[in-house]
Amino acid sequence: MPVADYNIYCEMLERARKGHYAYPAVNVTSLTSANAVLKGLAESKSDGIIQVSTGGGAFASGTSVKDMALGAISIAEHVHRAAERYPIYVALHTDHCQADKLDKLVIPLVEETERRRAVGRPNLFNSHMFDGSALPLRENLDIAVKLLERFRKNELILEIEADVVGGEEDGVKGEAGAKLYTTPEDTLEVARRLNSISGARYLLAATFGNVHGVYKPGHVKLKPSILRDCQDAVVKQYGEESRFYLVFHGGSGSELRDIHEALDYGVVKMNLDTDTQYAFTRPIVQHMFKNYDGVLRVDGEVGDKKAYDPRTYLTLAESGMAERVKKAVTELKGIGTTMFKA
């Protein structure tokens, strides 16, 4: 049962927090990219998280349909089947769904899970992110509380974001002048509101200078001590059982020492998108440059079918992305940490 159930997913998160490592949560848009994540995790002997964004789901459904929920369901159904062949656990998650898209992605997926549960089938997804970071905190949490109440009934974990990650990812922008640093006061309010729902589980994407996008190493200036201060405030006010499971967004360009410090303060999930997109694309480009006279019918020639067969270059793309996943597992100190036992 390599797609984690609720209890296994909760134990994964608990082990990561206690062990000071984190799971790569990799955005995928196709069966090939999902397979790359499974390959990279399995070769690292690490569990992990496959996630689908609003744009990724819309793309996966086809350019004529553009139904983000349909595309996410299609990818998830494939992962449920394919993951059975790999000796690791994987969780399924949706990424960065803002308030105006909840009815197009998260709610239909929760309804799908509810239908599955009603006939004794496992959950389709394990967790979903509501990104209310562009809203005032009170409004953000008002929506989050309602979602969490429904999630609790269906053994789903909610991820929320307090304040804004800078840059842009998948059409979600952190505008200039936005509040880019979470405060202890913010997290005390998060704990007060969400911890009131007994038995519910959630993840918090607190911001500490994170920026979405691609940057040279050292360009992004993080302040991991913000995470420590927020955790300390919440534990002091509400007790150790209120310590957060934290999520790291916008890791591209971050220094390894900052990533490791964040792990010490409770980061259990780190999102990957920009770097894995590049790792997927670069082998394709190299193949096209090297075999340009095979992929193109130059000067009336017929080209080389083996060169332009999509299976040829997508196999290279899968391997390239899998290698980047393996690098992420290493950086997040997750090598050999899988809970799966054959």
User: For the domain that residue 222 is a member of, what is the CATH number?
Assistant: 3.20.20.70
Contact indicator for 53, 335 with CB cutoff of 8 Å = no
Mean pLDDT of the chain: 93
Task: Return the amino acid letter for 66.
Answer: K
* Beta pairing, strands 167-169 & 172-174: antiparallel
Instruction: Print the domain residue range for 237.
Output: 6-331
Q: How far apart are CA 219 and CA 115, in angstroms?
A: 46
Task: Return the amino acid letter for 92.
Answer: L
Comparing C-alpha atoms, which of 163, 104, 118 is closest to residue 137?
A: 163
Is residue 237 in a domain?
A: yes
- pLDDT above 60 for 166: no
Q: How far apart are CA 291 and CA 70, in angstroms?
A: 36
Helix pair angle (68-82, 106-118), 10° resolution: 50
- The 3 state secondary structure assigned to the chain is CCECCHHHHHHHHHHHHHHCCCEEEEECCCHHHHHHHHHHHHHHCCCEEEEEEHHHHHHHCCCCCCCHHHHHHHHHHHHHHHHHHCCCCEEEEEEEEEHHHCCCCHHHHHHHHHHHHHCCCCCCCCEEEEECCCCCHHHHHHHHHHHHHHHHHCCCEEEEEECCCEEEECCEEECCCCCCECCHHHHHHHHHHHCCCCCCCEEEEECECCECCCCCCCCCCCCCHHHHHHHHHHHHHHCHHHCCCEEECCCCCCCHHHHHHHHHCCEEEEEECHHHHHHHHHHHHHHHHHCHHHHCCHHHCCCCHHHHCHHHHHHHHHHHHHHHHHHHHHHCCCCCCCCCCC
Contact indicator for 202, 243 with CB cutoff of 8 Å = no
pLDDT, tens digit, for every residue of 42-62? 999 999 999 999 999 999 999
pLDDT category at 254 given cuts 50, 70, 90 is confident
Is residue 87 in a domain?
A: yes
pLDDT category at 222 given cuts 50, 70, 90 is confident
Contact indicator for 6, 255 with CB cutoff of 8 Å = no
Is residue 18 in a domain?
A: yes
pLDDT of residue 167: 45
pLDDT of residue 177: 43
Stronger pLDDT, 18 or 175, i.e. the higher one: 18
pLDDT of residue 181: 84
- pLDDT above 70 for 168: no
Contact indicator for 243, 265 with CB cutoff of 8 Å = no
User: How much of the chain exceeds pLDDT 90, in percent?
Assistant: 84
Q: What is the mean pLDDT of residues 136-142?
A: 96
Is residue 341 in a domain?
A: no
pLDDT, tens digit, for every residue of 263-296? 999 999 999 999 999 999 999 999 999 999 999 9
Is residue 78 in a domain?
A: yes
pLDDT, tens digit, for every residue of 169-190? 555 454 444 467 899 999 999 9
Is residue 176 in a domain?
A: yes
| Lowest-confidence region among 1-10, 80-89, 96-105, 112-121 | 1-10
Is residue 342 in a domain?
A: no
Is residue 337 in a domain?
A: no
Count of structural domains, the chain: 1
Question: Does residue 46 come out as left (phi exceeding 0), alpha (psi in the -120 to 50 range) or beta?
Answer: beta
Question: Does residue 244 come out as left (phi exceeding 0), alpha (psi in the -120 to 50 range) or beta?
Answer: beta
- The 3 state secondary structure assigned to 242-310 is HCCCEEECCCCCCCHHHHHHHHHCCEEEEEECHHHHHHHHHHHHHHHHHCHHHHCCHHHCCCCHHHHCH
pLDDT category at 245 given cuts 50, 70, 90 is very high
Catalytic residues: 95
